[in-house]
Amino acid sequence: MIAGLAIKSLRNRRFTAGLTVLSIALAVLLLLGVERLRHESRESFAATVSGTDLVVGARSSPVHLLLSVVFHIGNASNNLRWETYRAFAARPEVAWTIPLSLGDSHRGYRVLGTSTDYFEHLRFGRDRRLRFAQGHAPESGHDAVLGADVAQALHYRTGQSVVIAHGAGDVSFSLHEQHPFKISGVLERTGTPVDRTVHVSLQGLDAVHEDADADAADPLAAALRDGQTDAAGEPRAITAFLMGLKSRSTALGMQRRVNEYTAEPLTAVLPGVALQEIWEITGAVEKTLSAVSMLVVAVGLAGMLVALLTSLSERRREMAVLRSVGARPSQIFALILGEAAVLTLLGIALGVIALYAGLILGRPWLESRLGLFIMVGWPSAYEVALMAMVALAGVLIGLVPAWRIYRHSLADGMSIRI
């Protein structure tokens, strides 16, 4: 009965009620949206290095090495020698390794030189392996495999040719038109930096640099001369390599061996530890966004309080009529409290609907532009707790106008002529 009266009363004030519901919905949308993006961005970063025990590169900070090599943010400072890579790859504790060579690009997308081990051993998500949407892995030094975003954005298909260039940014310093690559395959979408990468073989990448080095007047080509192949057809240097161990219990010992390697200065990164450092760096920003979201929710609920309080004087006649037909003060109290609860619950429901609609519609843009793979699933336990907190706050705020109307006596209500 009380719920029905509350809904009918809100219908009579549908414009004010609608604005109140909208303000609460927007506040809930922002609160849950920030939490979902925070959680999914962490999951997306962690999914990129699933199954990799160590990331090894030249001496650098762990965060810088992880960001440059795995997430393609920034550039690696130095290379490491091929002999060093082979020495660690041959150790009995090592199950597999993936050599990586960076420094070139194609129309703003990073070019990664690697071996066939990349397509065999790299894992993402929950131990998911790379799969081909079209074609196959490189079979020669002239083949290239594109990530899903590269193929979609540039409208490439297997069989077409691509030309890479010096430099890892949007600006290309020198095109290697004399050494085009033929697209042999396109990978399925992963939601990781793999989607935004052009993959070529180490031999093909070194052949490009060898041709470029013929022009000794090019200082950038000379700087890349360390990546030339040696007499055995192997590269002299690579940017870094990923390592998978036969037993994860040996990870700390292997990290110490790499960091103490005397032949050249190296850094071995435990991906989980480096990611934790990144979250500590970004933690202040996340807390600030959460605080802003909470303030927006508070403003939305305060707007509901103002709307209910300002309507009390206009509704004294309505309350008087209800009292005259037998409604008790406790029922009037429950009516006002019910209106606050209905407004809050409608706002939460509308905010959740808007959130999921935004996730479904904006997911392709987030994947292609920001590399965030957002899962559209059921709300997490923390998100449910946030919604319950907002609902409880809405009910508690409704106590203020409910208590005020409760204190109005029957004589006060009937003093207004009807």
**149 Cβ neighbours under 8 A, 6+ residues apart:** 109, 189, 195, 196, 367, 368
Strands 143-146, 181-187: pairing kind:
parallel
pLDDT at 144: 94
Query: In the chain, which stretches have pLDDT less than 50?
Result: 216-218, 220-229, 231, 409-411, 413-414, 416-418
pLDDT at 372: 63
pLDDT at 4: 66
The reported pTM is: 0.68
CB 112 within 8 A of CB 102: yes
Which residue type occupies 179?
H
- Of 63, 118, 12, 24, nearest in space to 346 by CA: 24
Hey, how many other C-beta atoms are within 10 angstroms of the C-beta on 110? Answer: 21
pLDDT at 51: 82
C-alpha to C-alpha distance for 33 and 92, rounded to whole angstroms: 47
Structure tokens at 110: 């990073």
Q: How would DSSP label each residue in 195-247? A: GGEEEEEHHHHHHHHHHHTT-TT-HHHHHGGGG-B-TTS-BSEESEEEEEES-
C-alpha to C-alpha distance for 123 and 46, rounded to whole angstroms: 11
pLDDT at 182: 93
CB 79 within 8 A of CB 238: yes
Structure tokens at 391: 């609902």
Hey, how many other C-beta atoms are within 10 angstroms of the C-beta on 155? Answer: 7
C-alpha to C-alpha distance for 200 and 261, rounded to whole angstroms: 29
How many Cα atoms are found within 13 Å in the side-chain-facing hemisphere of 370? 14
C-alpha to C-alpha distance for 164 and 201, rounded to whole angstroms: 13
Structure tokens at 323: 């009292």
Residues in the chain: 418
Hey, how many other C-beta atoms are within 10 angstroms of the C-beta on 232? Answer: 6
What does R_g of the chain's alpha carbons equal in angstroms?
31
Structure tokens at 190: 């992963």
Please report which residue ranges of 79-199 form alpha helices under DSSP H. Answer: 82-89, 117-121, 148-154
For residue 227, with 0-12 CB atoms within 10 Å meaning exposed, 13-18 middle and 19 or more buried, which class applies?
buried
CB 251 within 8 A of CB 242: no
CB 107 within 8 A of CB 154: yes
The domains of the chain are located at: 2-45+283-412, 54-269
